[in-house]
Structure 1
Amino acid sequence: MKPMLMTPLALAALLGACAHSGADVNPILDGAPTAQFQSDLAACRGLARNQSQLDRQTMAAAALGAGIGGVLGEVDDEGDALEGAVVGALAGAAAGASEASETRKTIVLNCLRGRGHAVVN
């Protein structure tokens, strides 16, 4: 398979694997859950899942990684710019996806707190 085709496929696989990560957090409560907790948890998870995985920050991180990787690949005697760009793009996208996952987790926890649940973490 050609390297130029592998980059978008690998990026899509990476982002697909993380599609709902963070939103499926199981929060720790300080005390017993109320009768409304499960309903609120489902609603808050739905809100978090609406946070796009492939947002501008993730794309910018992938582009920056590709640029840096391309330069480093060109400078390296044994590498080339294309290989460096591919590795850099994947590393940047992984970092962006990880940040999006943390954002989703924070959305769920803050949403539950906003609905009156004593969420510790």
Structure 2
Amino acid sequence: MKSILLTPLALTALLGACAEMGTDVDPILDGAPNARFESDLAACRDLARNQSQLDHETMASAALGAGIGGLLGKVDEDGDALGGAVVGALAGAAAGVSNASDAREEIVLNCLRGRGHAVVG
């Protein structure tokens, strides 16, 4: 029963710890930044922060990880299906959060490009 309660808590802690991931990218510019760059960067980072990490892809990754972990735990002679599911869910959620972080980074870079900054990476 404790494992069932710990899974949502661990997922919440994981997402909370990664709240800024992807938004703190330091873009590489082709040339010197203009006077608007810092304010545009702050606005683009805010835009990226508003994109949820707990999206359908992250939830699907967690569910898939839980299923695979549960099956592996059940098959293993010394394994525990519930423990495997918990570990699998955490691993899947971590992968989903990583993908969301990459998407946030792209949002910041594309936003700056859209505002006329020569961002190369």
Query: TM-score range, shorter-chain basis?
Result: over 0.9
Length, aligned pairs only: 121
Q: What TM-score, normalized by structure 1, do the two folds share? A: 0.97
User: 1:58 — aligned with what?
Assistant: 58
> What letter matches 2:105 in structure 1?
K
CA distance in 2, matches of 1:68, 1:21: 27
CA distance in 2, matches of 1:119, 1:50: 21
Residue 14 of structure 1, CA deviation: 0.7
Runs of at least 4 residues of structure 1 off by over 6 A?
A: none
Counterpart secondary structure, 1:26: coil
Residue 55 of structure 1, CA deviation: 0.5
User: 1:73 — aligned with what?
Assistant: 73
CA distance in 2, matches of 1:2, 1:69: 17
User: 2:29 — aligned with what?
Assistant: 29
Residue 77 of structure 1, CA deviation: 0.4
1:18 has 2:18 as partner: yes
The percent identity for this pair of structures is: 78
5+ residue gaps, structure 1, are none
CA distance in 2, matches of 1:50, 1:117: 22
Q: CA RMSD in A?
A: 1.0
CA distance in 2, matches of 1:10, 1:36: 40
CA distance in 2, matches of 1:114, 1:4: 45
Q: What TM-score, normalized by structure 2, do the two folds share? A: 0.97
> What letter matches 1:21 in structure 2?
M
